[in-house]
Structure 1
């Protein structure tokens, strides 16, 4: 079977690799370098921490386990780190954290309360503020290095016979004569199946094939699709795990660096006028980081990057056939779910057998009209919410 996969982010590359391992003829297309879209600006925390829908929670728990399985199979330097995650709360956020821990314990999700001294050992070289009152440790969570994961997935896909090519897919046609994609230069490529893994561009491309795939695609100031990450160039921080605090989230990055995130500041980010290195948003993130660095520490040097999340209109993953030969794959939880969705989608494409974990996430749920029940106030803005 010949399969064209449009989009070389973590989802597209994962499904291309799984299809190639299964012996299929795979062409992976992207308009730029692999992972240059949403995958390049993700906090990359693997978790099922605030996935409130039961089916979505189960899917993300399975996604976490899939990372461990895949790490044993992929060549290349380690890209997945089951480091655990530490959340701490002050008086304002402690009730929220307690409710979340109680909810997750009822689901059997691994979490335990720890004291300040243990929290300090778990986190590494951070100074926990005196106003931190409660500490929860989530030992099954972790993080990935997105660029490294993409590189490993692509190398393994090519090792199993997949081909990557640069080409912008501008149209998809699933008609009586078969399925094809049209590239920006007018070239038409045909296949037995097409996988749309084009993130926030999926709605327009799916519409070409008569598929309703509503996305929250706005990129203006205040849009829930807009996010901001800070890449700390200095100082180096000996961080041992993912950390969530009331004002700042942190995760380790390659080379001893750190990625930081202040979710409450996202609403003030205008992609048309990105935050300047010395502007108020940059200064506030630096101030919050300085507050948790061991003293004495130099002023942080942080590179800010604006990113755009892939948000289906109802906030949940889309996985399944939208038409007889076009398979759609979109998720806000792409890093946690990428390896799992890649394997499950490939299984459905090759065998024709539906995978139970994906039943709640079919594109057909939008057939009666766009669902837009993902409200902006549900978006990640508080401690531990992604």
Structure 2
């Protein structure tokens, strides 16, 4: 089960407690640019990763206080904050010129209250596995592989020991 920021609400009726620390955050996609970025970079002011179409995906958490909720349930942020984030990202790649934003999405980022991924079989619901994390770009492949092995063999992988849902029990 992977239900994004609503995962704790979905598993609660099953008697499983996963504290939700999901903040409202933003992901910005750059305009296409000539870059050679091939890695995910997490720095104090910008997190950047290569994205399809020769674009860069950029996010962080320092600007979350600038996101404003609207009466209709939507969110907005001043474009000056987006420009500042893209300037930070531009300092990390290329010639240091600010990247130009093509689009941005604001929504709830799935994060547990302790900030760590929640991954593994629910002890209270055998056969039901959960993944609750924002780290999809960096962890998706290995988590898929490890969970597949756990599902097929029933053997708990030691790499998930500190990330299991029962740590909140």
TM-score, scaled relative to structure 2: 0.74
Equivalence for 1:260: 58
Distance 1:294 1:357, change over 3 A: closer
Describe the SS at the equivalent of 1:338: helix
Alignment partner of 1:233 out of 8, 22, 31? 31
Q: How far off is 1:311 after superposition?
A: 0.9
Q: How does 1:13-162 map to 2 (within 5 A)?
A: none
Alignment partner of 2:76 out of 252, 257, 274? 274
Equivalence for 1:68: none
Alignment partner of 1:213 out of 10, 18, 38? 18
Describe the SS at the equivalent of 2:29: strand
Describe the SS at the equivalent of 1:312: coil
Q: How far off is 1:342 after superposition?
A: 1.7
Distance 1:366 1:286, change over 3 A: closer
Alignment partner of 2:132 out of 330, 352, 373? 330
Q: How does 1:156-305 map to 2 (within 5 A)?
A: 196-217=1-22, 225-233=23-31, 236-242=33-39, 247-261=45-59, 263-271=61-69, 272-275=74-77, 279-285=79-85, 287-288=87-88, 294=95, 300-305=100-105
Aligned 8 A contact 2:58 2:86 in 1: no
Alignment partner of 1:355 out of 120, 140, 157? 157
Q: How many residues align?
A: 161
Q: How far off is 1:286 after superposition?
A: 5.1
TM-score, scaled relative to structure 1: 0.36
Describe the SS at the equivalent of 1:260: strand
1:124-163 Cα distance to aligned partner (Å, 9 max, x none): xxxxxxxxxxxxxxxxxxxxxxxxxxxxxxxxxxxxxxxx
Equivalence for 1:70: none
Aligned 8 A contact 1:286 1:302 in 2: no
Describe the SS at the equivalent of 1:344: helix
Q: How far off is 1:249 after superposition?
A: 4.2
- CA-based RMSD of the aligned residues comes to 3.1
